[in-house]
């Protein structure tokens, strides 16, 4: 993200980076939790930049969970996105949350799964210490997967019936067909926990507003070049190119 921001700034763009709720040591700022369906948070930031700061052209870019949030927001806007929004970018978006949770739980991804679950538990413990009257979480020792965490913690505290309900309501997949502004999706076919099957949907292939670029290799949000003299981080340049292209098109009117 920092590399993308640097390239965008050099190309003449202003850059705003947003933390999810409770990330970046902000747990004390709100009693609520973040989750993968809070596209309203991204929308609120964009609308403030438009209405208060008067920015004439904006692109929204998200990575992984953030990519799902950006695409979900794009689908929610549908035909009514503000004119100031020039386009959307999603890198390795967790587009189908249920498929991603299943992929994380696969034996080959046990290291990823353990790290994710450890981080989720640690953040939740800090949250419960700050707001003990709101969160009763127990010791969470039985939670060993992201889906189990979402069943036990995310769903009940965020208004969902269970993890399955949370995934259904929060996945951008259900709204992809409604996107009506230029959108770039970058994902790798070998992403270990965002299955490429997520993107082999007619909602993407038949939507003329969506461009899907899916190289065979790239991992999860990595896209590290292996050729001498090539761009070190391939996806960063593609994001900036997309924004430059659609900025020029908007100026031409």
Between 228 and 202, name the one with better pLDDT. 202
Mean pLDDT of 4-24: 90
Q: At what angle do helices 97-104 and 163-170 cross, to 10 degrees?
A: 130
- DSSP code at position 199: G
**Confidence category of residue 251, pLDDT binned at 50, 70, 90:** confident
Looking at residue 232, its pLDDT comes to 80
Q: Does the pLDDT at position 244 exceed 90?
A: yes
Q: How confident is the model at residue 69 (pLDDT cuts 50, 70, 90)?
A: very high
Q: Does position 57 have pLDDT exceeding 90, yes or no?
A: yes
How many percent of the chain have pLDDT more than 90?
A: 85
CA dist list (Å): 78 to 55, 83, 182:
21, 12, 11
Question: Residue 16 — φ and ψ, nearest 5°?
Answer: -120, 125
- Among 48-52, 195-199, 249-253, the least confident range: 249-253
Task: Give the separation between CA 116 and CA 144, rounded to whole angstroms.
Answer: 10
> What secondary structure letter does DSSP report for 109?
G
Residue 24, pLDDT above cutoff 90: no
CB 101 within 8 A of CB 129: no
Farthest-apart Cα atoms in the chain, separation = 59
Cβ neighbors of 199 (< 8 A, separation 6 or more) are 95, 185, 187, 212, 214
CA within 13 Å, CB half, 10: 10
Q: Which pLDDT value is given to residue 23? A: 86
Determine the length of the chain.
253
Q: What is the rounded average pLDDT of the residues 3-18?
A: 91
Mean pLDDT of the chain: 93
pLDDT of residue 43 exceeding 80, the answer is yes
Distance CA 106, CA 25 (A): 30
> Does 229 have pLDDT greater than 80?
no
Q: What is the pLDDT of residues 169-226, one digit of tens each?
A: 999 999 999 999 999 999 999 999 999 999 999 999 999 999 999 999 999 998 987 7
Percent over 70 (pLDDT), the chain: 98
Residue 2, pLDDT score:
76
Please give the CATH topology (third level) of the domain spanning 1-15+35-96+171-253: Rossmann fold (3.40.50)
pLDDT (average), residues 108-137: 94
Residue 253: its pLDDT value, please? Answer: 67
Q: DSSP letters along 7-43, please?
A: HHHHTT------PPTT-SS-GGG-SS---TT-HHHHH
The residues of the chain that CATH labels 3.40.50.1820 are: 1-15+35-96+171-253
- Mean per-residue pLDDT for 145-152? 97
């Amino acid at each position: 993200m920092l590399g993308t921001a640097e390239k965008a700034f050099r190309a003449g763009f202003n850059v705003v980076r947003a933390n999810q709720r409770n990330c970046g040591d902000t747990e004390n700022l709100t009693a609520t939790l973040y989750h993968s369906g809070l596209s309203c948070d991204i929308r609120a930031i964009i609308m403030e930049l438009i209405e208060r700061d008067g920015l004439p052209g904006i692109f929204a870019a998200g990575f992984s969970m953030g990519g799902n949030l950006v695409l979900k927001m794009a689908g929610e806007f549908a035909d009514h996105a503000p004119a100031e929004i020039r386009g959307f970018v999603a890198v390795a978006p967790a587009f189908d949350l249920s498929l991603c949770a299943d992929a994380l739980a696969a034996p080959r991804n046990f290291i990823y799964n353990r790290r994710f679950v450890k981080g989720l538990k640690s953040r939740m413990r800090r949250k419960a210490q700050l707001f003990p009257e709101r969160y009763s979480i127990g010791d969470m020792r039985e939670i060993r997967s992201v889906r189990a965490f979402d069943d036990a913690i995310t769903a009940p505290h965020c208004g969902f019936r269970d993890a399955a309900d949370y995934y259904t309501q929060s996945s951008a997949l259900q709204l992809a067909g409604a996107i009506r502004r230029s959108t770039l999706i970058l994902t790798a076919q070998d992403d270990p926990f965002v299955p490429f099957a997520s993107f082999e949907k007619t909602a993407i292939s038949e939507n003329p507003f969506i461009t899907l670029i899916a190289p065979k290799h790239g991992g999860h949000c990595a896209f590290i070049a292996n050729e001498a003299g090539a761009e070190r981080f391939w996806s960063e340049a593609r994001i900036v190119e997309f924004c430059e292209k659609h900025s020029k098109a908007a100026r031409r009117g």
